[in-house]
Chain A
Amino acid sequence: MRRLSFHPCGNFKESYAQEITIFETDFGRFWLLAGLVLLFCVLPFVSSPYFLYVCNMIGIAAIAALGLNILIGYTGLISLGHGAFFGVGAYAAAILATRLGLPFWVCVPAAGFVTALTGMVFGIPSGRLKGLYLTIATLAGQFIIEYILVHWESLTQGTMGIVLPEATLFGLVIDGDRPFFYVIFVCLVLVTWMTKNIMRTRFGRAFIAIRDNDRAAEGMGIPIFPYKLLSFGISSFYAGFAGAIWAFYMISITSEPFTLGLSVEYIAMVIIGGLGSIPGAIFGAIFITGLNEILRWLTDIFMSMGMASGFGLNMASLRELAFGLAIVLFILFEPKGLAEIWRIVRSNFRLWPFSY
């Protein structure tokens, strides 16, 4: 039998294989398994429908945030168009499902690929631009896509929106929160696994090299433009994938939610979670979605407490305030995000009870 591995009390790695290993110890493997069992076998059966809905939203946001983390956290390209790409995915799925009558399991990945193509088109400026100029170019992309979604009425039905058919998978109808919970979280697990492994291959290493210094990366023989486009493509694929699932989950979609505000929310998830960290993107999705729900809940309480409706209405603006405050405080006090806090907490427990 293999010996259980524990954390060594120093850095004793001798090969690259040890460096890129996913689980350093068997404890990690055990906790991951336990977590997955808890997630799939316990959580859907003990939680209320509302909580399940929140979990589903977190799962969808986490998929999109993982994608954005590849782009911002690993490749160092700042995109302000992620919300629009999410919308492209949602619309692609809706159009494929209604016009072409494609089944759910084809629509979702196909929407991902459509969005990946769109993302690569809007990633073309990254060939000549970097830093804040690229950020402004993606901002323009956000506005252009938003305009197209609203005004290309023959395709997107403008402000009327599109109603999606029922999603079916292997002959089973997926409706309601619990079936979608399984779909979303199986996808999230797959996507996380994929992301982790992309980052361990030469593609991931090339992305990180480009982030650290793209000129130097080019000098070392990495063709930076194709890799930047690839990064845009992968990240938009995730956004489109999440958007497609979201569209099926929401049943009907309009062009309303895919604004710059949504893009900013995704960036906030990535930053608050921790740039360049896979658990970070998930933490960020939990934090931002949770914050949104808590604030909505507070607003409802104030509204129903019989306060003047004017005051209740003003509470809605406090959501904006709290959201901004969360971003600013994290940047000022913990720029590495929740992932860093998590790491510190874990390393405190590592030597427990025999700490220094």
Chain B
Amino acid sequence: MDFFIQLLVNGLSIGLLYGLSAMGFVMIFKSSSVLNFAHGELLAMGAFLFLVLTTWAGLPVYLAFLITLAGSFVLGFAVERLFLRPLIGESLIFVIMLTVGLASIFKGLLLFFFGGNLHTYPEFLPAGLGVQFGNVFIPPVYVASSFIGIVFLVLFGLFFKFSPQGIFMRSVADNQTAALSLGVHVKKVFALSWAIAAMVAGMSGIVLGVINGINVHEISAIGLKVFPVVILGGLDSIGGAIIGGIIIGLLETFTCGYISPSLRDVVPYAVLVCILLIKPYGLFGLVEIERV
């Protein structure tokens, strides 16, 4: 029973991380319908920026965190402006391959500067944050990451619900043409959603780095793990991303614990195919009605 609960807790916390990583992905898809294959690399960029700021520049943690968020924001903005904007209206394959190309550019750059080794952050979380539940121990990083995840989820909920920019973004996601004719600056919304998504990605990258250490290959692999998560949750639902993340996290840890560790990486994709066959637009996704 203890084993089960430990797996449950691990699954929940890993799932929350997946959900957090998927949030940025969904945000980009929601506003600009771009399937971002470079998402894992955006996570890694944030993680490495934080590494540089904390270890090499020696900045205090909160300052480094804020600068990383700002840096990721600028990066996302630049990516949209330089690469994605010329492709508005181009066919799907070009957009997909552009993000694949971007992914390999980012990966190449990171490998060039940092190599493929494992880096770790200096210990900065207070040990008192860990929670002991009977025999089950939740390490401080999981508590902190869950806390950050929930805070950001609430913040984004409020942002989309009340702020003008958030409402613009939702309107563009809902119907681009209608939003355009009502005077919403669609290009600005695209740029902003990329910037915010990159910021969320940077933040998730830091959290991942704190938990597992940072390694270019591993973090960019998480970018691919996002696909089963968002298909489960629906490509255009931010709340769904969190739920999908938690389901995939639980699935992974239980497969790993009870069946076989090697199956861990393939089970999410098998589930993904099944879901796509039964419900083509995901569990919480919007059904697109297409007219010829």
Contact = CB atoms under 8 A, between A and B. Distances in A.
Nearest to B266: A147
A277 B48 CA distance: 41
Interface string B72-90: 0000000000010011001
Contacts of B270: 140, 144
Interface in A262-298: 264, 267-268, 271, 275
Contacts of B102: 324, 328
A8 interface: no
A135 B83 contact: no
A314 B103 contact: no
B108 A141 contact: no
A331 B276 contact: no
Interface in B96-122: 96-98, 100-112, 115
A92 B287 CA distance: 39
Interface string A134-150: 01110111011001000
B273 interface: yes
Nearest to B109: A321
Interface stretch (A43-51, A123-131, A228-236): A123-131
A140 B228 contact: yes
B101 to A, nearest CB: 3
A318 B112 contact: yes
A125 B290 CA distance: 18
Nearest to A73: B93
Contacts of A128: 276-277, 280
B262 A151 contact: yes
B96 A132 contact: yes
Contacts of A327: 97-98, 100-101, 104
Nearest to B98: A331
A320 interface: yes
B92 interface: yes
B100 A317 contact: no
A132 B35 contact: yes
Contacts of A260: 224
A28 to B, nearest CB: 29
Given A78-B96, A219-B292, A129 B276 contact: yes
> What 9 pairs between A and B have smallest CB-CB spacing?
A321-B108, A317-B111, A324-B104, A327-B101, A320-B108, A324-B105, A140-B269, A328-B101, A147-B266
15 contacts: A125-B277, A128-B280, A136-B35, A140-B270, A140-B272, A215-B290, A260-B224, A314-B112, A317-B108, A320-B105, A324-B101, A324-B104, A328-B83, A328-B105, A331-B97
